[in-house]
Structure 1
Amino acid sequence: MASILIVEDEPKLAALLADYLAAAGFETRWLADGREVMPAVKAATPDLILLDLMLPGRDGLELCRELRAFTEVPIVMITARVEEIDRLLGLELGADDYICKPFSPREVVAHVKAILRRTRRAAGKAADELGLVIDEAQYRATLHGQVLDLTPVEFRLLRALAAAPGRVFPRDRLLDKLYTDHRVVTDRTVDSHIKNLRRKLAQACPERELIHSVYGVGYKLEL
């Protein structure tokens, strides 16, 4: 049973969402304070997060950025702010989708089902069709059965991209995942690592380019 974390400070709305999601077969948890989100996700990562933008304690956009530093769990942002800049900012920070208030609870359930189907299908294709296997315990990756000779930074870069095939990762988000010592580097450092990673992937899969550039934004792993 997929678990959904509802982060919403309106108790009646949160209860309504929980009821509809439970009726659709999902397990739910509810948090009303933004300060509780990070400890809760690190303790037990849900399958999807419904994240309100306006929260007591911590703002939803700030939480989205911090979550994306360590997890690719799908995030659906719930907002009453419909300005285009908020939408763009949220997507750059890693949100998978938006739902604007007021909404129908059935609409939310439909969004949740669609996103979970898409992410599971993408993960399955990465493993089954692409033949990419990432062994985190041994810090090793293979493609079509061929071991990729990756540096630790290249491994973390590939792991981040492969966690959400098709999703565009801005350079600054990728930088957050590459170095564990918080060193100061420019976002163009990512470009250098991407170049080396592409070359190594091409040795195992010369018939297609797997990492694609999105001009002005960043990179994605395309199946």
Structure 2
Amino acid sequence: MTRQRVLVVDDEENVAHLVASVLRFDGFEVFVADNGMRALIAVAEHRPDLVVLDVMLGGSTDDDPDGFEVLRRLRAGGSGVPVVFLTARDAGPDRVAGLRAGADDYVVKPFSLEELLARVHAVLRRTAPGPQVRGSVLRVDDLELDEDSREVRKGDREITLTTTEFELLRLLMRNERVVLSKSTILERVWNYDFGGNANIVESYIGYLRKKVDTDEPKLIHTIRGAGYVLKAPRPAQRA
């Protein structure tokens, strides 16, 4: 059985060594990078299944990107590799900023190794295709999501989504015309509530709207005080 690959990115040698050792002991194939540029190269070379990425890397210059910039470049380059941020920044706004940047989870230093492993496994479960029925394609109006290939199309346009955006869209499409509350979305997509930071749901709904809901009539709707719903327009709305 092929082992899953994890890239650990941290410029603190002792932290990188500890995290890498624990992941290897848990059965992962692990690669390590000590700065942002090496991390970007390692993602291209090793194609990891997940990246544990320290936010507070060397700096913010083009040649020495911090964790936020590394993640931005990955997403801008079309990489949907799941990313778990590892950082000493524990303030609520910093957590939300990391998640809005496209991270899939956030672990604060100092951390327990058991928690880190639990988060890694939870993200991998959430983002892995897993065994599925072939030909499982969701369609709402001209929006199409293929659960096998993980491809998304809107009409003739192919759409690139991060793993979290994909899971959110899949949840909405599987529950067409069902209003989903923020707490339900947090539980189903993120597996827990991030300490009550439900605003992350609003952010990701916004990301989806910019990518898949740019034309009229809209598919994604906000139901004030209740949550969000995705539904095809009625014939009269297209008239």
TM norm. shorter chain > 0.5: yes
Matches within 5 A, 1:1-223: 1-56=3-58, 57-69=64-76, 70-120=78-128, 123-124=129-130, 127-128=132-133, 131-132=136-137, 151-153=155-157, 155-156=158-159, 164-166=166-168, 170=204, 187=210, 191-193=213-215
Structure 1 vs Structure 2: percent identity of aligned residues?
36
- Residue pair 1:9, 1:32 contacting (<8 A) in 2 also: yes
Q: TM-score of the superposition, structure 1-length normalised?
A: 0.64
CA RMSD of aligned residues (A): 3.7
Q: Secondary structure at the match of 1:164?
A: helix
The amino acid of 1:191's aligned partner reads D
Structure 1 gap segments, 5+ residues each:
134-139, 176-186, 199-210
Residue pair 2:154, 2:212 contacting (<8 A) in 1 also? no
For structure 2, the 5+ residue unaligned runs are 59-63, 139-143, 169-188, 190-200, 231-239
Counterpart contact for 1:76–1:96, Cα < 8 Å: yes
Contact 1:68 1:94 in 2 (8 A): yes
Residue type of the alignment partner of 1:91: L
Distance 1:170 1:14 in 2: 30
Q: What is the CA–CA distance in structure 2 between the aligned matches of 1:170 and 1:87, rounded to whole Å?
A: 14
Q: Do 2:127 and 2:164's aligned partners in 1 also have CA atoms closer than 8 Å?
A: no
- Give the ranges of 4+ consecutive aligned residues of structure 1 lying more than 4 Å apart after TM superposition: 140-143, 148-152, 159-163, 167-175, 193-196, 211-215
* C-alpha separation in 1, matches of 2:221 and 2:134: 18
Name the count of aligned residue pairs: 178
Residue 170 of structure 1 and its aligned partner are, at CA, apart by 4.3
Q: Calculate the TM-score normalised by the size of structure 2.
A: 0.61
Matches of 2:106 and 2:223, distance apart in 1: 21
State the shift of 1:151 in Å. 4.3
Q: Which has the higher contact order (CA 8 A, sep 6+)?
A: 1
Structure 2 residue aligned with 1:202:
none
